[in-house]
Amino acid sequence: MRILTIFTQFDEIHLHKDVGQISSFFSKGTNNSSSILSKNFNTVDSTSINFIKIQPFFGSLFLGSVLHILSKFRRYDILIMYHLQVKNIFLLLLFKITHFISNSKGISYLKLDANQYFISRRFSVFYKYLLNKVDFVSVESSYILENQRVFNDLLLVPNGFSFEPVLPEKYREIFTNQENIFLVVGRIGAPEKNHQQLIRVFDLFCTNNSSWILEFVGPINPEFYDFYLKYNFTESSTSSRIRFIGEISDRKSLQSYYTRSKVLLSSSLYEGFNVSMVEALAFGCFIISSNVPCVFDITANYKYGCIFEYDDDTILLSHMKNITDEGFLNFNLFYDSINYANDNFSWGKILIALDSLFRQKIYS
């Protein structure tokens, strides 16, 4: 299979996200090739993916993508696009039409990053018609899959973790060395992440706890850091128990933060699929999260995590207190959570089913 992904803003960080992982998976095997059309083709180091620089047309990357499809479509069997945008639907259907006119078969796949607000979106009859002409469309959580009313056929393709799975003989060692750390990973202080709530609730938590630490890993929004500096903590010592690590580009270093933390915290107002949750789960972290759609799948409906309504400080505080009770975070829970992550969020296992669907469609 010859696959083209158009993702104009692709950069090094995307190698470990769905765009890079899916492209890498489909680059392996006999007669397989995977290409990404991007403006940043020379900034990414990958041995398996073929990066192609978009040639803008009249300064437009979109028109450059159109021209690439019109002139090179015979080189590809499948076009993959990400996110629900009119221009992406246009490119997917253009790819199908060009193949149809040339009496060949072109497969289109749209991977949505749909949050809870996707369910309430309204689409015209014509737009729905066009959307349903795309061969394969997927969402990342079963909640969206079961509640959406736009697509006639929809696939469930969650995001996975790109780390090597933990070997069973390492489970006990990692569990023993975990520290009392609430870990937050992502774009720290981004408005939709609602991280101010974590500062507020951790301050309350610290009035009756002296051992746990809150760590933020990721690029830091200056306004959020200013909020932290000016926050009037109940106890002055609390601020010293909040650590800002900053952005970590080295994957081994990031892994070390997952392996030594007991809990991953997420307070997002809305979210498509939080990759840091499955990464943390793969190393045995317990999840405490606001009730975004993906969290139900990731925690196996509360088995490996606790869920709260965003901005409900009382419930969040209660969860933080409960999980720090002696014996709650036990080895059996740790062991089962890693196995669950390996079974459900390993990219290899996720994409085998998609690979089979692609092949059935191409060779039917």
Round to whole Å and give the CA distance between 156 and 181.
32
3-class secondary-structure state, position 179: strand
| Extended beta strands in 178-220, E state | 179-185, 213-217
Residue length of the chain: 364
Round to whole Å and give the CA distance between 277 and 264.
7
pLDDT of residue 101: 94
Q: Is the separation of the CB atoms in 79 and 95 below 8 Å?
A: yes
Amino acid type, 86: V
Sketch the domain layout of the chain as residue ranges.
2-160+346-363, 168-344
pLDDT of residue 45: 61
H or E element in which residue 243 lies? strand 242-246
Question: How many Cβ atoms sit within 10 Å of the Cβ of residue 235?
Answer: 11
2-160+346-363: what CATH class? alpha beta
Round to whole Å and give the CA distance between 228 and 90.
44
- What's the fold here for domain 168-344? Rossmann fold (3.40.50)
From the number of C-beta atoms within 10 Å of its C-beta (0-12, 13-18, 19+), residue 97 rates as: middle
Lookup: tokens for 52 = 């192609």
Round to whole Å and give the CA distance between 106 and 97.
8
Round to whole Å and give the CA distance between 50 and 44.
10
Round to whole Å and give the CA distance between 103 and 105.
7
pLDDT of residue 327: 84
Same fold for the domain at 2-160+346-363 and the one at 168-344? yes
pLDDT in tens, the chain (364 residues): 899 999 998 888 888 899 999 999 988 876 789 999 998 766 566 668 888 999 889 989 999 999 999 999 999 999 999 999 999 999 999 999 999 999 999 999 999 989 999 988 888 899 989 999 999 999 999 999 999 888 888 999 999 998 999 999 999 999 999 999 999 999 999 999 999 999 999 999 999 998 999 999 999 999 999 999 999 999 888 999 999 999 998 999 999 999 999 999 999 999 989 999 999 999 999 999 999 999 999 999 999 999 999 889 999 999 999 999 888 999 999 999 999 999 999 998 999 989 999 989 888 7
pLDDT of residue 42: 63
